[in-house]
Amino acid sequence: MRRSALYSSSPSRQDTAASERAAQGQVRAKPSRLRQFLAREGSQPRLLWTVIALLSLATLASLIALVQHMPAALTQKDIDAAVLKTLETVQLPSKAAKAYEAIRPSVVRVLGMSPDPKTGELVQRSVGTGVVIVDKGIILTNLHVVQGASVIRIEFYDGLETTASVTGAQPENDLAVLQAHKIPDDLMAATMRSTSDLVPGDEVLAVGFPFGIGPSASAGVISGLQRAFRSPEGQQEMRNLIQFDAAANPGNSGGPLVTMDGQVVGIVTAIYNPSQQRTFIGIGFAVPIENAASAVGIPPF
C-alpha cells in the first residue's frame, strides 16, 4: 500500500493559483494606515470636521501671537517725543560754532616783517588775517596789513609757517592777493557766497587774529549794506561796504566775514571809532566778496 508523503516539493492547487495571480499583477497592496483611517472614519464626518476646526484654531492662535509680537508703527507723537528728549539731553553745537569749524581750516595769520633800523634783524611791523580762496595757496588779505613789509610770513591752520609774495592788489578796496611759498598737503579753500541776498539782521561771524590773538571768533549781525567809510587819516574813502557789529579789532583786518553756514561774504577791512583808541565800539566794515574775488580774477557770482 502506497504511503502518502508528509512533505511534498510540488505546489498545491491553492499555491499554484496564488502564484498565477501575483504573476498577472492582480495582487493588491495592503491599504495604508491613512486609507484605513479614512475608511474606518468615513462614516463619522463630525469627527473629521472637529479635527479641521482644531487645526484652524491652532493656526489662528499662532497668527495672533505673531501679530502681538510685531513692533507697533511709529506715530508723529512718538517721533516728536524722541526729538524733544534728544534736545533736552544732548548739547548741540551753536550755529556760530559750526560756522567757525567750517571756516577755520582756511584762515591764516599774516605778519608783515621789516628789518630793524638799528640791528638789521627782521621784526614784526603788522599783524593781520587772511583767508585761503584757492587751495593752491592763494590768500586774500588787506593791503594795509602787508604794504611796506620786506617779508610776509604766513601761518596756516596746521601750524605750517612759510613766506608769501604779493601777486595782486586792489587799493581802492584795500585788498591784497598773496601767494604762499609752501602749503599744507590738505589745504582747504573757503567757500564764497554772493551778497545779493543779504539783509540787515542776518547773522555773521568774524574770524581773525585781533591783536595777534587767535584764531578768534566773534558773532553778530549785518547792520547795513552799501555803507561808505573814510579812513581816520582821510586819505581814502571806501564805498559799498558791509556794516556789521561782530567784534573786530586791529589784527582782524583781512579776515573773513562768514554766514552761519561758514561761507565767506566779505573781507573785514575797517572799524569805526572816532577816538584815537582805534578799538571796536560796535561798527565794523567788510568789503563784499564780489569785489574781493575780482581782485584775484575770479569771475563774479
CATH number of residue 191's parent domain:
2.40.10.120
Domain annotation covers residue 37: no
Residue 7's pLDDT is 40
Domain annotation covers residue 64: no
> Which active-site residues does the annotation give?
144, 174, 253
Least confident segment among 159-163, 258-262, 294-298: 294-298
**Domain residues for 212?**
102-296
The model carries a pTM of: 0.70
Q: How far is CA 99 from CA 128, 246, 264, in A?
A: 20, 14, 10
Number of domains comprising the chain: 1
Q: How far is CA 18 from CA 9, 29, 38, 53, in A?
A: 16, 14, 29, 46
Residue 72 has pLDDT above 90, yes or no: no
What is the distance, to the nearest Å, from the Cα of residue 56 to the centroid of all Cα atoms in its chain? 55
Domain annotation covers residue 13: no
Residue 112's pLDDT is 96
Least confident segment among 70-84, 102-116, 238-252: 70-84
Handedness of CA 159, 165, 166, 168 (dihedral sign): negative
Cβ atoms < 10 Å from Cβ of 222: 23
Determine the straight-line distance between the first and last CA of the chain, rounded to whole angstroms: 138
Residue 149's pLDDT is 95
HSE, CB side, 13 Å, CA atoms: give it for residue 112: 20
Domain annotation covers residue 61: no
With bands split at pLDDT 50, 70 and 90, how would you rate the model's confidence at 192? very high
Name the most confidently modeled range: 17-21, 52-56, 172-176, 291-295: 172-176
Domain annotation covers residue 257: yes
Residue 30 has pLDDT above 70, yes or no: no
Residue/partner pairs of 97-102 with CB below 8 Å, 24 or more apart: 98/260, 98/261, 98/262, 99/205, 99/258, 99/259, 99/260, 99/261, 99/262, 100/205, 100/207, 100/217, 100/262, 101/262, 102/191, 102/258, 102/261, 102/262, 102/263
Domain annotation covers residue 33: no
Residue 230's pLDDT is 86
Domain annotation covers residue 106: yes
Which cell numbers in the block locate residue 34? 491613512
Domain annotation covers residue 189: yes
